Structure 1
């Protein structure tokens, strides 16, 4: 049976072209930046974590994450990124390909079930999954429950990623998207892994969600 048009992931030549351009610009831009990496999770060490993990960072930090990932332990790991089921998601997924990152399409608002299933399959197959828990549309700096639920279901650790900039522009978007200024310093922290029991009460779950949210907020250079 043909899929209904309104349930298809919208892709177009324009979206993919924009993705290639964005990925190329990200690579060029990253060459001007200076990086400090603080690895508290054992990701970029010679002996890296063997099991798959979930990486969590705020949506407005994704501009510099792929280049950082390629420069650190990411080149030794198989990783997919959760992107939205939209034209913007197609652009982001295409850009990620230039850094050797795969994509799972979906979000909390569209194709959420397929996204969760895709994340679970990826993790159980040994792929790391990178998510922005306040994306794709916010509210900014608010952790949605899905990332903790998938960690519970798969027994996977969540590693918060904190990225700070010595100088940056902040766009007038819902997430105040951050672009580091050329030749600025980027500080990256792979935080201590968080693990969650499969069974938690509603109150315990909310405490865990707020803890992750607080960690990510405290690791940012703005509030």
Structure 2
């Protein structure tokens, strides 16, 4: 049976080449930056929180996350990144390979069920899962319910990641994608674990979603 256009993973040679190029560009660019890491969650060496977790950060901050992960000792953890099933998702997934990160393909608009199954499987196998809760297309700084659902279903803690830049450019994209200027400072905080209890009501579920959204929003530079 042919795949539906709504569930097909979009992959092209051009997207793959762009992904490799983007990954190496990110790696070289990161060498010019100064990093200040505050690990309130105990997820980088020395580990306090060694169980698999769900990392959550805004979509427009992903440029420096893989380099940060390598520099902080996070590379010693097994991690995968949730990317969309689109061609843009292929570019991101390929870029992540440059940093030794795997990818789960899917989003709220494409392959949502497959993505949820993939995330559950990864967590069971001891992998951390990194998500951008307002991606892949927004609205900007709005937490979609998927990250709350997967945390609730698996009993996994969410670790919000806050990234701030001393000086940066903003691109004309839906999320105002942020790129730090060369030789600027990058402040990174791994916030304390955010828990989503099982058996909560729909109202309580929405309260948890809004709570996570507000925590992530307050930590931005806007």
Same-fold status (TM-score > 0.5): yes
Work out whether residues 6 and 110 of structure 2, in 8 Å CA contact, stay in contact via their aligned partners in 1. Answer: no
What are the equivalent positions in structure 2 for 1:77-116 lying under 5 Å apart?
77-116=77-116
SS of corresponding position for 1:46: coil
Aligned equivalent of 1:167: 167
What number of residue pairs does the alignment pair up?
A: 222
Structure 1 segments, 4+ long, off by >6 Å, are none
Report Cα offsets for 1:109-168 as digits up to 9, x if no partner.
Answer: 111110011001101111000000000000000000010100010000000000000000
CA gap of 1:156–1:6, structure 2 versus 1, over 3 A, is: closer
SS of corresponding position for 1:140: coil
Q: Distance in 1 between matches of 2:130 and 2:98?
A: 16
What are the equivalent positions in structure 2 for 1:33-182 lying under 5 Å apart?
33-182=33-182
Alignment root-mean-square deviation, CA: 1.1
The reply to whether residue 218 of structure 1 matches residue 218 of structure 2 is: yes
The structural deviation recorded for 1:74 is: 1.5
Q: Distance in 2 between matches of 1:44 and 1:2?
A: 44
Work out whether residues 43 and 73 of structure 1, in 8 Å CA contact, stay in contact via their aligned partners in 2. Answer: no
Work out whether residues 41 and 192 of structure 1, in 8 Å CA contact, stay in contact via their aligned partners in 2. Answer: yes
The structural deviation recorded for 1:49 is: 2.1
The structural deviation recorded for 1:48 is: 4.1
The reply to whether residue 30 of structure 1 matches residue 36 of structure 2 is: no
Work out whether residues 152 and 198 of structure 1, in 8 Å CA contact, stay in contact via their aligned partners in 2. Answer: yes
Q: Distance in 2 between matches of 1:17 and 1:48?
A: 38
The structural deviation recorded for 1:2 is: 4.6
Q: Distance in 2 between matches of 1:59 and 1:5?
A: 24
The structural deviation recorded for 1:20 is: 0.4
CA gap of 1:212–1:4, structure 2 versus 1, over 3 A, is: closer
TM-score by length of 1: 0.97
Q: Which runs of 5+ in 2 are unaligned?
A: none
Report Cα offsets for 1:40-88 as digits up to 9, x if no partner.
Answer: 0001232342210000000000000000011113111000000000100
Q: Mean alpha-carbon deviation: is it higher for 165-174 or for 43-52? A: 43-52
Q: Distance in 1 between matches of 2:47 and 2:22?
A: 32
Q: Which runs of 5+ in 1 are unaligned?
A: none
CA gap of 1:45–1:74, structure 2 versus 1, over 3 A, is: closer
SS of corresponding position for 1:217: helix
The structural deviation recorded for 1:3 is: 3.4
Report Cα offsets for 1:81-113 as digits up to 9, x if no partner.
Answer: 000001000000000000010000000111111
The reply to whether residue 10 of structure 1 matches residue 7 of structure 2 is: no
